Amino acid sequence: MNPVMHSTMLHDLQLNQQRVTRRQLFGSAAQGIGGIALAALLGEGSAHAGQIGLPTLPHFAPKAKRVVCLWQGGGPSHVDLFDPKPVLQKMAGQNIPDSVRGATRLSTMSSGYKKWPITPAIKPFKRYGQCGTEMSTMLPHIGALADDICLVRSMNTEAVNHAPGVTFFMTGAQVPGRPSMGAWLSYGLGCDADDLPAFVAMTSSDKGKTCGQLFYDYYWGSGFLPSRYQGVRFRNVGDPVPYLRNPAGMSREQRRALLDDIRLMNEAHLQDYGDPEIETRITQFEMAYKMQASVPDLLDFSKEPKHVLDRYGPDVLTKGTFANNCLIARRLIERGVRFVQCMHAGWDQHGNLFTQLEEQCRDTDAPSAALVADLKERGLLQDTLVIWGGEFGRTPFGQGDPAKPNGRDHFGRAYSMWLAGGGVKGGSVLGATDDFAWNIVNDPVHIHDMQATLMHLCGINHEALTYRYQGRQFRLTDVHGHVMKKMIA
């Protein structure tokens, strides 16, 4: 057995043994587990300032210490944005050949089509950077980062619908219930921040609300891991986190005294029942208290230089926009948060391809690029991994009236994502598709391969970070996944 895997399994067995004999432990220990957890949060008796992960991690020196996932919900069209195909221009309006389509699984919206009219990219492509990577002219700011990013043109997934596709990337399974990627990293690695959560999620949508998909809590959930590892969602309206403000008439000192009393009751309850969720309650109360001070500072943009704000575009100071969330993400990363998940809806162009896609690019292009540029200027990009992509791509054939299609359907057989920083090979392109952007012709990257690679960049052997649940060891990559070494600098 792999020594690292053996060490992790031994640690899990020891945790199980502790839970079995927890009542005896409390009877003999001078301080309860909850008190130890609280002391770690408050920094008592320890020089460590932050949230501690597993003692066996990282498995090796990480290239990325933090991750930002810029999730583009709905399925950005690789055909229009990242994968130029001159043949589609030459054959516009003709059917995708049967020999190309094969038995590809499609959604029920297009699986019964009799015609498959080729629809080329709606805007031109151009070469960007010294590397000359071709991308759409609709993404000029991201294009300007070409020398910093690794563009993957050979992503593939079995998912054909939105929620299963997002769940697959975030948790390793199409069915909800497993821990999300951010929860796994928080569990395994902890984070450097002691006054902010290890894992933060934020959501936004296109201005016209054209994309009907919802953001489900399990996209940033902890699954069967203890709930303290789930992402903390920052809301778009009101206070970013509920109950951060004290009720009228209650001072911060009174709040502290109240929490101290509640902690004593929770510790007594923990001694009686040994429920790890009580530990979560203790630590989360303390985190909420600290966030009362840290979150207002986090969201105070008054000292941000004008040229920095301008990078993110005109919506940067509008709460709940993708631009605003990207700026918050940079500030979270600066403060030591491990995983930030910015989820933006609006890429589901079934019937409005020629109007909405360009609008969506305008909303997201500058903020995405600004985040990467800001991290680079601050010396943070080299050990912060930025991921940009969605659950699948869009069909190379048009959707709607075959004589005049106005949209594209979901397409998981081949699509594109890009990454920057955190040890990836900048100025590179991995993988390729055929002349129709339909079949992958080299270096395929499955969802599990991408997850394995992301974990590797964070110093984790994806096969060794496991958690025992219902009689078996689970991991983010299920029983699959290979590290894509060509992506790594």
Q: What is the pLDDT of residues 113-147, one digit of tens each?
A: 999 999 999 999 999 999 999 999 999 999 999 99
- 18 has a pLDDT exceeding 70: no
Range from 37-41, 63-67, 117-121, 309-313 carrying the lowest mean pLDDT: 37-41
Strand-pairing partners, residue 136, are 125
Range from 28-37, 229-238, 294-303, 405-414 carrying the lowest mean pLDDT: 28-37
Q: Could you tell me the sign of the dihedral formed by the alpha carbons of 82, 86, 91, 96, in that order?
A: negative
- 47 has a pLDDT exceeding 60: no
Residue carrying the six token digits 């395929």: 444
Query: What contacts 85, CB < 8 A, 6 or more positions away?
Result: 79, 120, 121, 396, 433, 435, 436, 437
Range from 279-288, 318-327, 337-346, 380-389 carrying the lowest mean pLDDT: 279-288
pLDDT at site 240: 87
- 393 has a pLDDT exceeding 50: yes
- What are the pLDDT digits (tens) for 395-421? 999 999 999 999 999 999 999 999 999
Q: Where are the domains of the chain?
A: 61-240+299-487
pLDDT band at 39 (very low <50, low <70, confident <90, very high): very low
- State mean pLDDT over 26-41: 39
Where on the phi/psi map is residue 443: left (φ > 0), alpha (ψ -120 to 50), or beta?
A: left
> How many helices and strands in the chain, by DSSP H and E?
15, 19
pLDDT band at 279 (very low <50, low <70, confident <90, very high): confident
pLDDT at site 475: 98
Of residues 341 and 14, the one with the higher pLDDT is 341
- 42 has a pLDDT exceeding 50: no
How far from chain centre, in Å, is Cα 125?
Answer: 27
Pairwise CA distance, residues 433 & 411, whole Å: 13
Geometric angle at alpha carbon 239, from 171 and 313, rounded to 5°: 75
Pairwise CA distance, residues 419 & 349, whole Å: 23
- 191 has a pLDDT exceeding 60: yes
pLDDT at site 200: 98
Mean confidence (pLDDT) of the chain: 89
Length of the chain: 489
pLDDT band at 75 (very low <50, low <70, confident <90, very high): very high
pLDDT at site 49: 63
Pairwise CA distance, residues 157 & 193, whole Å: 34
Cβ atoms of 370 and 311 closer than 8 Å? yes
- 72 has a pLDDT exceeding 60: yes
Of residues 194 and 42, the one with the higher pLDDT is 194
pLDDT at site 223: 97
Range from 179-188, 240-249, 251-260 carrying the lowest mean pLDDT: 251-260
- State mean pLDDT over 425-438: 98
Range from 79-83, 239-243, 355-359 carrying the lowest mean pLDDT: 239-243
- 224 has a pLDDT exceeding 90: yes
CATH class of 61-240+299-487: alpha beta
- 45 has a pLDDT exceeding 80: no
Of residues 27 and 336, the one with the higher pLDDT is 336
pLDDT at site 37: 41
Query: What contacts 121, CB < 8 A, 6 or more positions away?
Result: 79, 80, 84, 85, 88, 89, 136
- What are the pLDDT digits (tens) for 442-470? 999 999 999 999 999 999 999 999 999 99
Strand-pairing partners, residue 127, are 134
* Element (DSSP H or E) covering residue 384: strand 384-389
Which amino acid is residue 339, in one-letter code? F
- State mean pLDDT over 45-52: 61
- 288 has a pLDDT exceeding 80: no
Pairwise CA distance, residues 197 & 338, whole Å: 8
Which amino acid is residue 438, in one-letter code? W
- 251 has a pLDDT exceeding 90: no
Pairwise CA distance, residues 43 & 61, whole Å: 25
pLDDT at site 404: 94
pLDDT at site 40: 42
Q: Could you tell me the sign of the dihedral formed by the alpha carbons of 333, 240, 40, 6, in that order?
A: negative
Q: Is the peptide bond before 58 cis (omega within 30 degrees of 0)?
A: yes
Question: Dihedral (C-alpha) 317, 372, 360, 440: value to the nearest 10 degrees?
Answer: -160
- State mean pLDDT over 292-299: 90
Q: How many CB atoms within 10 Å of residue 285?
A: 16
Give me 82's structure tokens: 């990242």
Among residues 417, 439, 447, the alpha carbon closest in space to that of 430 is found at 417
Cβ atoms of 104 and 413 closer than 8 Å? yes
- What are the pLDDT digits (tens) for 325-337? 999 999 999 999 9
Cβ atoms of 154 and 459 closer than 8 Å? no
| Percent of the chain that is helix, strand, coil (3-state, to 5) | 40, 15, 45
Q: Could you tell me the sign of the dihedral formed by the alpha carbons of 432, 438, 440, 444, in that order?
A: positive
- 485 has a pLDDT exceeding 80: yes
